[in-house]
Amino acid sequence: MESVILKFEQLLNENVNYIPTINNEILEVKNPGKWSKKEILGHLIDSAIHNLVRFTEINYSEKPYRHRPYNQIDLVNLNQYQKTDIKELTQLWFLINNQIVRIMKSVDENALDYKIILSDESVIDLRFLMTDYVEHLEHHINQIKS
């Protein structure tokens, strides 16, 4: 997990100051059926909120843990990320993810093997979920930077 955490911290530290420097016109461009770069960052905030809960709950919930999906499109729209100041969005994204870093650093090695049942009934473990979270974040950061 150490390399995943280092990558995660690097993504956060490289982008917390960069994202707010992107021209607002670029951040707000919307193509049909696609999110703007602001909305992508909003999606990353929603993802962080849900994963913070997951990474915390799995430690005290009944095992195996049942992964609850969320409606990504509705959340982006309801939270009005398109209309929110980019500095505020970036700060929220950064702070929630810093808390996730703290959890990842403190998670017990045995907890990484806790089983998680996905909505399609497939089974993963906490290690996979945490690693996948960082990969998901990297994918969307690359979309914002492109």
What's the rounded Cα separation, in Å, for the pair 73 and 44? 12
* pLDDT recorded at residue 51: 98
* pLDDT recorded at residue 116: 97
Average pLDDT, the chain: 97
Domain membership of residue 38 as a residue range: 2-145
pLDDT in tens, 48-103: 999 999 999 999 999 999 999 999 999 999 999 999 999 999 999 999 999 999 99
Look at the block and give the residue holding tokens 């499109």.
73
Q: What is the mean pLDDT of residues 115-140?
A: 97
CATH of the domain at 28: 1.20.120.450
Name the domain count of the chain.
Answer: 1
CA distances from 87 to 20, 84, 97, 116 (A): 6, 9, 15, 35
* pLDDT recorded at residue 111: 95
pLDDT in tens, 28-39: 999 999 999 999
What's the rounded Cα separation, in Å, for the pair 59 and 62? 9
* pLDDT recorded at residue 86: 98
